[in-house]
Chains A and B, each alone.
Chain A
Amino acid sequence: MIPSVNDPANSSDSGIVRSRTSNSSRKGLKWLALVVAPILLSGCQLPGFGITPGVTTSSHKVYKLWQGFMVTGLIVGGFTFVLIIFAAVRYRKRNDEIPRQTQYNTLVEVLYTVIPTLIVAALFYFTIVVENPEVALASNPQATVKVVAFQWGWRFSYPGNPSVNVVGQTTQNPELVLPVNETTRVILTSLDVVHGFYIKDFNFSQYALPGVTNRFDFHVTKAGEFQTQCTQICGLYHSLMYFKVKTIPAAQYHQCLTSATSGDSFVACANGTSSLKATVRPSATQGVPVHHG
């Protein structure tokens, strides 16, 4: 993919726009078309600006949106930054003369109203393009998991097999297992206070709210383990309310889910270890550190 401005298609485009000369809103559009759109479309060649593409179909799109926004933000912010510094330095006090008392300049005022409007219109457009599929619910998800948050832990249960319930508190670090290359419906709620269900590598979070059931879909593209934790202040042990996400091939997922007799055996199967070993998970004995209580 050819990044942004060097794209021959875009260059000829800009030629057409330039021929219409002094219309400033056109210039704004040209600027947008030249800079924002190609970057959003060919984002894979840009740096990640602090985040990764993640491991779901949505997280990839969010990543590109983030890149486009960061580039736009850096351009707009950098332009404004340079203007501020330039004005402050270039027009520093030179003598005691009173400068021209310019107060209004209609053209400039129109420009700095219209151009930002066009920029945010474009940002809003790309937001909607990414957001709609991200929050849309599949009509027929292949897997479903119910997530219940509580002070200070998580319960993951799988309607496909009622005997599978994975529960863990604080640093017991319960494991949420998801299939790769299938759509998983997450049904999220809370037993007590508001908690934050956040998975960094999915570029996503959602509140677990008492009395409210939130539904959303993940389509994971890669197997792996992802450590995470509650993000919304939920009381004393908020900072220790961990959970782990394990993504495994869909076939293994369904086979484990069908054969599991308990949450522990399901997690053990997903990790490829025997169910006997898995009944005492490594972190389970740690419990809550007492010296901070």
Chain B
Amino acid sequence: MVDTLERTTAHEDDHGHGHEEHHGPGGLLNWLTTTDHKVIGMNYTVTSVVMLLIGGAFAMLIRAQLTVPDGAVVSLSKYNELFTMHGSVMIYLFAGPFAFGGLANYMVPIQIGAPDMAFPRLNAFSYWLYLTGSITMLLGFLTASGAANFGWVGYAPLSNAVNSPGAGADLWIGALILTGFSAIFTGVNLVATIFYLRAPGMTMFRMPIFTWNMLVTGILILLAFPVLTAGLVMLYADRHFGTHIYDANGGGSPVLWQHIFWFWGHPEVYILALPFFGMVTEIIPVFSRKPLFGYKGMVFATISIAALSTGVWAHHMFTTGVVLLPFFSFMTYLISIPTGMKFFNWIGSMWGGQVRYTAAMLFAIGFLLTFLIGGITGILLASPPLDFFTHDTYFVVAHFHSVVMALVLGAMAGIYYWYPKMTGRFLNERLGKLQFWMLFIGSMVFIMPGYVLGLQGMPRRMAVYIIDPTWQNLNIVSSIGGFMIGLSTLMFAVNVISTIKAPKTAGPNPWDAHTLEWFTTSPPPHHNFYSLPNIKSERPTWDYFHPDAPALIHDDHDPSHVPGGAKADAK
């Protein structure tokens, strides 16, 4: 089987090069003028990983500061800038752009057998908006009054011109408007591409689950991001044009900002999470050599999550006293059901399989375990009486860091899985596994003390905690975990750098994977494919190489239903 694959590729390579080669400018000019989704996807991936490193560096400073009760590193005001920019960089500049600008941009067109995104120039524009916005936000540190310092949620009226004067806040707002438009254009592009550019035979229910997740993410972006952008324009108007939209003294409403922010912010949680769900949902079945368990159920679960996510925003506002608690609590409980179903899809995909412990698979399993902790504590927070006393404490910080550290693990799973496709080279598996254990254990050591500290009453966003120095020990433990995460990131950087000059040995389908991107060369040619297989299921590449092992649609433990296949196909 592997021989066939290699021969096919070699053959395609021979006559492929030449007439399929792209005759554009080379080098830097190519990078600046490209509209190729793969180059843009790489640009996004590299830029967003740089943002991960920058946001991570802020985190290291934060964790260093908290090792002593009266603050080891920076002043009160600089600390406020650090946690604001840590959250902002990670949420706005890393997690989203990495997922929907980077890996999705690169993989979605290939997964559906398309030559490019639907609007290649808009795609390039998205990237340049994103890069400009990212630089704009970070420039805040160079202003006289420092970067934005009111938290990544920018609650009014702390974010107004009286309480937060200075250019740092304006640059923050400008950056979010720029990156917001970037996200909207990417969302348009994803939705249009998935609806209109699928290859013949690629029906909706034959789309890879990652593509499904990105379709739903794209729709959510279109629902949520315009609201944030409008809210930011109003915030800017309050700051500079004398409006009083969020100003209680002028007849406005500070709570309106919270509504607008979280009406974007909760769908945003799923805009961030769904792509990473999609990544691990690709990875787990591949490394279990099985189809995704309950594929259609998972598609509907994903759609339900998206639909429900537009109706849960005020669970961030339980303690405002001005929202209907039972409604938002109920909606939040509902959304936990499709999210919980996914766990059983993932477990079911491993069940009875042949689980290979590659670095990508380890990261995916690490994602499951870490996300499980974040999910369970999310259920606790969905109950207003329990949210009341955990709100704005380290319990909540630990909760959402369980979720976002799961996303980082998912991102690493995605990188280790698709790196051979994007570059033709393997990342070092041994170093990858070492990085996994460092990152996973580091995450646990970092997160767990936070839950305890929160229940002991330590509020979040505290530059100093001289009010209760007994919190120091757990903070030191948490910081050690944080530094372990930092170390794992350095391992990742070393791994990437050490492969830059390595030979391209990956071949088209090194993981014996399922989806179309593994049918083409690594990296793929300019317009992605020399040829396409017949698409008869959501696993066209698997079907091509394992024609005798199709997915068993009705396999309710009745052996008589099994078509001749599974075992007969063994090598």
Contact = CB atoms under 8 A, between A and B. Distances in A.
A8 interface: no
Contacts of A99: 288-290, 352-354, 566
B376 A73 contact: yes
Contacts of A98: 289, 354, 546, 549, 566-567, 569-570
Interface in A255-293: 289, 292-293
Contacts of A80: 343, 347, 372
Nearest to B78: A292
A128 B326 CA distance: 7
Contacts of A112: 340-341, 344
Contact of B459 (A61, A77, A198): A198
B33 interface: no
Contacts of B322: 209, 212, 214
Interface stretch (B122-130, B212-220, B450-458): B450-458
A289 B463 CA distance: 13
A254 interface: no
A204 B388 contact: yes
Nearest to A196: B392
Contacts of A140: none
A159 interface: no
Interface stretch (B181-189, B520-528, B551-559): B551-559
A116 B243 CA distance: 47
Interface residues of B, number: 106
Which of the listed residues B336, B337, B463 has the most CB atoms from chain A within 10 Å of its own CB?
Answer: B337
A62 B385 contact: yes
Interface stretch (A20-28, A36-44, A117-125, A160-168): A117-125
A292 B352 contact: no
Given A84-B369, A130-B385, A239-B465, A193 B157 contact: yes
B354 A70 contact: no
B337 A120 contact: yes
Contacts of A200: 389, 456-457
Contacts of B383: 65, 69, 123, 127, 130-131
Q: Is the interface of A mostly helix, strand, loop or mixed?
A: mixed
Contacts of B551: 101-103
A198 B393 CA distance: 10
A117 B338 CA distance: 10
Contact of A88 (B355, B389, B456, B557): B355
A230 B459 contact: yes
A113 B341 contact: yes
Interface string A48-69: 0111000000100110011001
A91 B554 CA distance: 22
Given A69-B386, A130-B385, A193 B333 contact: no
Given A103-B551, A112-B341, A233 B461 contact: yes
Contact of B354 (A94, A105, A205, A212): A94
Interface in A177-200: 188, 192-194, 196, 198, 200
A132 B385 CA distance: 9
B354 A91 contact: yes
B123 to A, nearest CB: 34
A54 to B, nearest CB: 8
B158 A234 contact: yes
Contacts of A233: 80, 150-151, 155, 158, 460-461
A195 to B, nearest CB: 10
Nearest to B158: A193
Contacts of A46: none
A135 to B, nearest CB: 7
A239 B340 contact: no
B389 A103 contact: no
A83 interface: yes
A214 B321 CA distance: 6
A87 interface: yes
B341 A192 contact: no
A134 interface: yes
A96 B570 contact: yes
B376 A76 contact: yes
A104 B554 CA distance: 6
Contacts of A196: 319, 391-392, 459
A113 B337 CA distance: 7
A59 to B, nearest CB: 8
A93 B356 contact: yes
B368 interface: yes
A292 B70 CA distance: 9
A143 B93 CA distance: 50
Interface string B530-571: 000000000000000010011111111100001001110111
Contacts of A93: 354-357
Given A93-B355, A108-B344, A69 B380 contact: yes
B321 to A, nearest CB: 4
Which of the listed residues B457, B459, B571 has the most CB atoms from chain A within 10 Å of its own CB?
Answer: B459
Interface in B492-524: none
Given A93-B356, A135-B325, 4 more contacts: A204-B389, A210-B248, A212-B254, A229-B459
7 closest A-B pairs by CB: A211-B248, A50-B455, A231-B392, A214-B321, A200-B457, A87-B350, A231-B459
15 contacts: A50-B451, A62-B389, A80-B347, A84-B347, A88-B355, A99-B566, A104-B293, A105-B555, A113-B341, A194-B254, A207-B321, A210-B248, A216-B321, A233-B461, A240-B467
Interface of B: 70-71, 75-77, 80, 150-151, 155, 157-158, 163, 248-249, 252-255, 288-297, 319-322, 325-326, 329-330, 333-334, 336-337, 340-341, 343-344, 346-348, 350-357, 365, 368-369, 372-373, 376-377, 379-380, 382-386, 388-389, 391-393, 451-452, 455-457, 459-468, 546, 549-557, 562, 565-567, 569-571
